[in-house]
Amino acid sequence: MNSARRAFAKALAAIDVVIEVTDARLPGASSNPMIEELRHFRNRPCLKLLNKADLADPKATREWIAYYNAQPGVRAIAISAKHPADVERIPVLSRQLAPHRSGAEKPLRMALAGIPNVGKSTLMNALLKRRVAKVGDEPAVTKSQQTLDLGPGMTLTDTPGLMWPKIEHDADGFMLAASHAIGRNAVIDEEVAVNLGSILLARYPAFIEVRYRIDVTGLDGEGLLERIAHRRGCIRKGGGLDLEKAANVFLVDYRSGTLGRITLEVPESRQQMLAAAESVPDVLS
Query: pLDDT tens, 198-217?
Result: 999 999 999 999 999 999 99
Which are the contacts of 266, defined by CB distance < 8 A and separation ≥ 6? 60, 63, 64
Cα distances (Å, whole numbers) of residue 115 to 11, 59, 76, 166, 272 = 17, 24, 17, 13, 23
CA 4 to chain centre: 18
Q: How confident is the model at residue 197 (pLDDT cuts 50, 70, 90)?
A: very high
The one-letter amino acid at 85: A
Which are the contacts of 159, defined by CB distance < 8 A and separation ≥ 6? 4, 7, 8, 11, 111, 112, 113, 142, 145
The one-letter amino acid at 260: G
Contact predicate 61/52, CB 8 Å: no
Helix pair 58-69, 267-279: axis angle to 10 deg? 70
Q: How far apart are the first and last CA of the chain?
A: 29
Spatial separation of the C-alpha atoms in residues 204 and 206, rounded to whole Å: 6
Of 161, 157, 168, which is closest to residue 135 (Cα–Cα)? 161
Query: pLDDT tens, 125-147?
Result: 999 888 776 555 444 444 567 88
Query: pLDDT tens, 41-78?
Result: 999 999 999 999 999 999 999 999 999 999 999 999 99
The one-letter amino acid at 212: Y
Burial 42-70 (b: 16+ CB within 10 A, else e): eebbbbbbbbbbbbbbeebbebbbebbee
pLDDT confidence of residue 185: 66
Maximum pairwise Cα distance, the chain: 72
Averaged pLDDT of the chain: 89
Q: Ranked by mean pLDDT, which of 146-150, 156-160, 212-216 comes out on top?
A: 212-216
Instruction: Sketch out the chain's domains with CATH numbers.
Output: 2-158 (3.40.50.300), 170-277 (1.10.1580.10)
